[in-house]
């Protein structure tokens, strides 16, 4: 994956497939601890211990169209090669939490990428799922919550093309403001 | 164009969109819209499907096409990512492979506007001479 945003898009698709009704995504840059953490938490179907133990194996997948499942292994590899860490916890029937920590100053830590565009694409392509995105940097915090957005929009659909573009601009602009680069 | 930074800015856009929606006929309900489903699994994302999806979102409106752009999983055509499944109302879905933004533009101009097929359909059953 080329950037952090692509990883987030990828891992969040697992939550969509797990039939989550609520997906929380957090992006946290902490220069004091030299760390960049992403967390994706859902209330989907979860996994039992046997399945959970196998998800970091690239030759394990729940799909039937192909025999490999690379999303989680790629994120784990990318995080660990920066000196960071990866963890996944899950309970059947309750949901799953994926956390990856990168060492912020490491050469191998991928660039952030288009987090705003990514989160909005996820939220608008899955209008029935509630998305909460938290973007935290040394400058402050921005929260994008689709409940608020849907309230504001009333009966205008969130996946209307002009709304999607407007939302992307909204989130990108707020992230830009918190950007420390 | 004014910047969109807060929910109140969004509200402004919303009322503009709502006016247009109210002007439209009932025939443009969701089931009568073109459905564009971009494959967004690991293989698709790594091949740039997000750029493809953004291209459709940004360029459909300016071409006067009403569509719903959404995501789907891996269809098993990992070798041909980014793949896009397009369902026109009353027609069978068609899957296009290797849909870069350039290919997306060709699909908009030919298939979406004029029902003219383009190369890249999976499984391959259509070639131009």
Residue of B nearest to A152 (CA): B11
Q: For position B29, what pLDDT does the model report?
A: 66
> Can you tell me the mean pLDDT for A19-29?
97
CA dihedral A160, B17, B22, A151 (to 10 degrees): 70
B22 falls within a domain: no
- Using pLDDT thresholds of 50, 70 and 90, give the confidence band for residue A146: very high
Interchain CB distance below 8 Å, B10 and A170: yes
How far does Cα A57 stand from its chain's mean position? Answer: 20
Which of A9, A16, A110, A131 to mutate to probe the B interface, most B CBs <10 Å? A9
Contact between residue A108 and residue A81 where contact means Cβ atoms under 8 Å apart: yes
The domain tally of chain B equals 1
CB count, 10 Å around CB of A32?
Answer: 7
What ipTM score was computed for the predicted complex, to two decimals?
Answer: 0.86
Interchain CB distance below 8 Å, B76 and A65: yes
Contact between residue A110 and residue A1 where contact means Cβ atoms under 8 Å apart: yes
Among partner residues B7, B50, B66, which is closest to A9 by beta-carbon distance?
A: B50
Q: For position B28, what pLDDT does the model report?
A: 58
Contact between residue A108 and residue A115 where contact means Cβ atoms under 8 Å apart: no
Strands B67-72 and A22-30: unpaired
Name every chain B residue with its beta carbon within 8 A of the beta carbon of A168: 54
What are the C-alpha distances in Å from A24 to residues A20, A21, A40, B42?
Answer: 10, 10, 6, 20
Name every chain B residue with its beta carbon within 8 A of the beta carbon of A10: 41-42, 45
User: Which residue has tokens 């492979």?
Assistant: B97
B117 falls within a domain: yes
DSSP string, A127-177: TTSEEEEEEEETTEEEEEEHHHHHHHHTTS-TT-HHHHHHHHHHHHHHHHH
CATH number at residue B55: 3.40.30.10
Name every chain B residue with its beta carbon within 8 A of the beta carbon of A173: 3-5
pLDDT exceeds cutoff 70 at B27:
no
Range of the domain at B64: 29-122
Residue of B nearest to A17 (CA): B73
> Can you tell me the mean pLDDT for A96-119?
96
Question: CA A38, CA A82: separation in Å to the nearest integer?
Answer: 14
> Can you tell me the mean pLDDT for A157-163?
92
B51 falls within a domain: yes
B37 falls within a domain: yes
Map out the domains of chain A as residue ranges. 4-178
Interchain CB distance below 8 Å, A159 and B9: no
**Residue A121 forms contact with B (CB below 8 Å):** yes
Which of A6, A7, A13 to mutate to probe the B interface, most B CBs <10 Å? A13
Interchain CB distance below 8 Å, A74 and B42: yes
Question: CA B23, CA B100: separation in Å to the nearest integer?
Answer: 34
pLDDT exceeds cutoff 90 at A98:
yes
pLDDT exceeds cutoff 80 at B119:
yes
B49 falls within a domain: yes
Share of chain B above pLDDT 70, in %: 89
- Which listed CATH number (3.40.50.2000, 3.30.565.10, 1.25.10.10, 3.30.70.1350) goes with A4-178? 3.30.565.10
> Can you tell me the mean pLDDT for A42-57?
94
């Amino acid at each position: 994956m080329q950037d952090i945003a692509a990883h987030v898009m990828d891992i969040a698709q697992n939550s969509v497939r797990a039939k989550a009704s609520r997906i929380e995504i957090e992006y946290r840059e902490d220069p004091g601890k030299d760390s960049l953490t992403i967390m994706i938490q859902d209330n989907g179907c979860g996994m039992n211990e046997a399945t959970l133990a196998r998800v970091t194996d690239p030759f394990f997948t729940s799909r039937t169209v192909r025999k490999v499942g690379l999303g989680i292994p790629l994120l784990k590899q990318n995080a660990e090669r920066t000196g960071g860490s990866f963890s996944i916890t899950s309970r059947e029937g309750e949901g799953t939490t994926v956390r990856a920590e990168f060492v912020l100053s490491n050469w191998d830590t991928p660039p952030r990428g288009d987090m705003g565009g990514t989160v909005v694409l996820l939220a608008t392509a899955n209008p029935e799922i509630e998305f909460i995105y938290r973007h935290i940097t040394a400058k402050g915090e921005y929260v994008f919550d689709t409940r608020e957005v849907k309230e504001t929009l009333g009966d205008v659909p969130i996946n209307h093309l002009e709304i999607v573009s407007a939302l992307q601009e909204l989130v990108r602009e707020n992230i830009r403001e918190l950007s420390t680069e | 164009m004014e910047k969109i930074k807060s929910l109140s800015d969004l509200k402004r856009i919303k009322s503009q969109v709502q006016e247009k929606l109210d002007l439209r006929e009932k025939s443009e309900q969701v089931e009568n819209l073109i459905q564009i489903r971009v494959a967004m699994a690991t293989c698709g994302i790594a091949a740039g499907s997000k750029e493809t999806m953004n291209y459709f979102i940004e360029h459909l409106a300016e071409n006067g096409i009403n569509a719903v752009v959404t995501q789907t999983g891996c269809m098993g055509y990992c070798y041909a990512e980014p793949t896009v499944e397009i369902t026109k109302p009353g027609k069978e879905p068609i899957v296009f492979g290797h849909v870069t933004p350039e290919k997306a533009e060709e699909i908009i101009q030919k298939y979406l506007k004029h029902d003219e097929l383009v190369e890249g359909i999976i499984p391959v059953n259509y070639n131009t001479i």
